[in-house]
Chain A
């Protein structure tokens, strides 16, 4: 039982093993409680280091509803700073991104360095002789950490380290995405699709690791693929070898390792990609960097398709951030990820693949968004307020690494997310 806004919310009753109550999506008190407990304490994804490659670079981001600046100082260190002048509260950064020598609050001229230190105040003598400028440095989240370029922050000074929030098996998935680069690095600086929908942020998180919907929601895209390849697309069928996997701590994925490595054409695909000079160079460079076994493993697995709770999605060619606004509104930032140190053609191919599905004009993401809007409309019906997540509950297994998995169209991944959500929401927070 938890108190929120003077009200009791029994999260145990709202999240059952096989169903979730609609209030978890549309109740504003629950949303406010999420901002406190999930976004106000736990690890939240900020951005990728490569978004700010040079000294002086910055981008605006959010932790929950709080605006922050993700900046890189002259020594090359990155920072997460609240976008709020410590004097009278004005936001100090007006552009979504840029390159600056520091941040000047244009209200009264206070000037902050890229690391947030207050450097200059106009007419400082007005504050007396014992004025300590360091008292008014830009505020920052108490904790910050990164894994392979993905930077996270937490508004709580205590709590589990990032490497526990992102479990070993979850980190392994991120590794699959990064190790497609011979230098082991993703580069996230090729623009963004920015889209908004009517509905709760968790609708996008649930959908990102949903292996049940593609054959239906994306019928038109699948038809296009089938027309182009001349064969039936079977990766999302009820008997496919893909797996829905709960990685722990609310992280989950659609796991294609088995499906792709046992695919009858797996070896042929490796040969085919070496059919061009740039494909051959990419293959050779990857083998030189990671060894033949690992290189072929990552090429066959081909990235990942995962969620990092609560607001990051890592796909084969894309990094996606989910930005809650209210129970009625969510913003999503989709950014193509390129591979460092590969022939240009490899990255251009990633961009073209991204565009085919993931833009507001493209062939896929807005069919998902359409479904979020439809769920949001359906949630107004309260005669049966439950959303059913029981698919595959009877056939889940625990893997050697402790993760729980089931067939690819099952809802194991979503159940993992919701189990973690419930455990976080049941915590008492002042």
Chain B
């Protein structure tokens, strides 16, 4: 029997790998129905109906976005970013039906010969499903959330 921590770690590593490899449709399958994916802008927390985010979307909005990225005409990802994510500093609160997870990330990204690093901390709310999890809520807070940013269309 693997522990909750092992299960959560495996899940986060898989999510990171799918994103690293631009496997967005498979990544989308990790989300629960309904779900919320939120990348705040400028500040870490606010009313997202009054302040714009880098991304704030329910299942439909996320779905449209991953289809767009997968169709091949999203030129900001043509050529695509090569990426590897490192996920660490994982803290887990077991709420039974809902597991709250915080984790830091570092994304090493190279596109068109330029190497960039993107870092931050993600808050997940996971629902146990079939021995693994579905993402009910993902909020990724970039360290650079209020800085000049370059192309982040590969998603965080």
Using CB atoms and an 8 Å cutoff, list the residues of chain A in contact with chain B.
96, 190-197, 217, 219-221, 223-224, 227-228, 331, 336, 344, 347-348, 351-352, 354-356, 359-363, 366-367, 369-371, 373
- Chain B residues, CB < 8 A from A351: 48-52
Taking the complex as formed, is B55 at the interface, i.e. its CB lies under 8 A from any CB of chain A?
yes
For residue B17, give the distance in angstroms from its CB to the closest CB of chain A.
Answer: 20
Given known pairs A195-B150, A348-B49, the reply for A361 and B42 (CB within 8 Å) is: no
* Contact B41 A192, beta carbon cutoff 8 Å: yes
- Chain A residues, CB < 8 A from B65: 363
Given known pairs A228-B64, A348-B49, the reply for A355 and B55 (CB within 8 Å) is: yes
Taking the complex as formed, is B151 at the interface, i.e. its CB lies under 8 A from any CB of chain A?
yes
* Contact A224 B67, beta carbon cutoff 8 Å: yes
- Chain B residues, CB < 8 A from A336: 52
Taking the complex as formed, is B153 at the interface, i.e. its CB lies under 8 A from any CB of chain A?
yes
* Contact A217 B150, beta carbon cutoff 8 Å: no
A-contact 0/1 string along B72-92, CB 8 Å cutoff: 111110100000000000000
Given known pairs A356-B61, A359-B54, A367-B76, the reply for A195 and B149 (CB within 8 Å) is: yes
Size range of the chain B interface in the assembly: 35 or more
User: Of residues B39, B52, B65, B69, which shows the largest number of chain A Cβ atoms within 10 Å of its Cβ?
Assistant: B52
* Contact B146 A370, beta carbon cutoff 8 Å: no
Taking the complex as formed, is B14 at the interface, i.e. its CB lies under 8 A from any CB of chain A?
no
* Contact A220 B71, beta carbon cutoff 8 Å: yes
Taking the complex as formed, is B129 at the interface, i.e. its CB lies under 8 A from any CB of chain A?
no
For residue A253, give the distance in angstroms from its CB to the closest CB of chain B.
Answer: 23
Taking the complex as formed, is B147 at the interface, i.e. its CB lies under 8 A from any CB of chain A?
yes
For residue B55, give the distance in angstroms from its CB to the closest CB of chain A.
Answer: 5
- Chain A residues, CB < 8 A from B50: 190, 344, 347-348, 351
Q: How far apart sit A344 and B51, CA to CA, in the bound complex (Å)?
A: 12
Chain A, residue nearest B43 (CB) = A191
- Chain A residues, CB < 8 A from B148: 194-196, 331
Q: How far apart sit A407 and B143, CA to CA, in the bound complex (Å)?
A: 44
For residue B115, give the distance in angstroms from its CB to the closest CB of chain A.
Answer: 15
For residue A240, give the distance in angstroms from its CB to the closest CB of chain B.
Answer: 20
* Contact A359 B75, beta carbon cutoff 8 Å: no
Main secondary structure of the interface of A (DSSP, over half): helix
4 more CB-based (< 8 A) A-B contacts, given A191-B42, A220-B68: A191-B51, A344-B49, A361-B54, A366-B76
Q: How far apart sit A356 and B60, CA to CA, in the bound complex (Å)?
A: 12
Taking the complex as formed, is B13 at the interface, i.e. its CB lies under 8 A from any CB of chain A?
no
- Chain B residues, CB < 8 A from A220: 68-69, 71-75
* Contact A190 B51, beta carbon cutoff 8 Å: yes
Chain A, residue nearest B76 (CB) = A366
Chain B, residue nearest A350 (CB) = B52
Q: Can you give 5 A-B contacts (C-beta < 8 A)?
A: A220-B74, A221-B68, A351-B52, A360-B54, A370-B76
Given known pairs A194-B147, A371-B75, the reply for A224 and B64 (CB within 8 Å) is: yes
Chain A, residue nearest B153 (CB) = A366
- From A224, A352, A371, B68 is in contact (CB under 8 Å) with A224
Given known pairs A190-B51, A336-B52, the reply for A360 and B64 (CB within 8 Å) is: no
Taking the complex as formed, is B11 at the interface, i.e. its CB lies under 8 A from any CB of chain A?
no
Chain B, residue nearest A195 (CB) = B149
User: Of residues A220, A223, A359, which shows the largest number of chain B Cβ atoms within 10 Å of its Cβ?
Assistant: A220
User: Of residues A221, A331, A347, A370, which shows the largest number of chain B Cβ atoms within 10 Å of its Cβ?
Assistant: A370
Taking the complex as formed, is B108 at the interface, i.e. its CB lies under 8 A from any CB of chain A?
no
Taking the complex as formed, is B104 at the interface, i.e. its CB lies under 8 A from any CB of chain A?
no
- Chain A residues, CB < 8 A from B155: 361
Q: How far apart sit A366 and B74, CA to CA, in the bound complex (Å)?
A: 9
Q: How far apart sit A360 and B149, CA to CA, in the bound complex (Å)?
A: 7
Chain B, residue nearest A344 (CB) = B49
- Chain A residues, CB < 8 A from B152: 360-361, 366
Q: How far apart sit A360 and B118, CA to CA, in the bound complex (Å)?
A: 13
* Contact A352 B151, beta carbon cutoff 8 Å: no
- Chain A residues, CB < 8 A from B42: 191-192
- From B46, B57, B146, A96 is in contact (CB under 8 Å) with B146
- Chain B residues, CB < 8 A from A361: 39, 54-55, 152-153, 155-156
- Chain A residues, CB < 8 A from B68: 220-221, 223-224, 363
Q: How far apart sit A224 and B64, CA to CA, in the bound complex (Å)?
A: 7
Given known pairs A360-B153, A363-B68, the reply for A369 and B54 (CB within 8 Å) is: no
- Chain B residues, CB < 8 A from A362: 54-55, 153
Taking the complex as formed, is B100 at the interface, i.e. its CB lies under 8 A from any CB of chain A?
no
- Chain A residues, CB < 8 A from B75: 217, 219-220, 367, 370-371
User: Of residues A191, A351, A354, A369, which shows the largest number of chain B Cβ atoms within 10 Å of its Cβ?
Assistant: A191
A-contact 0/1 string along B113-156, CB 8 Å cutoff: 00000000000000000000000000000000011111111011
- From A190, A194, A227, B149 is in contact (CB under 8 Å) with A194
- Chain B residues, CB < 8 A from A348: 49-50
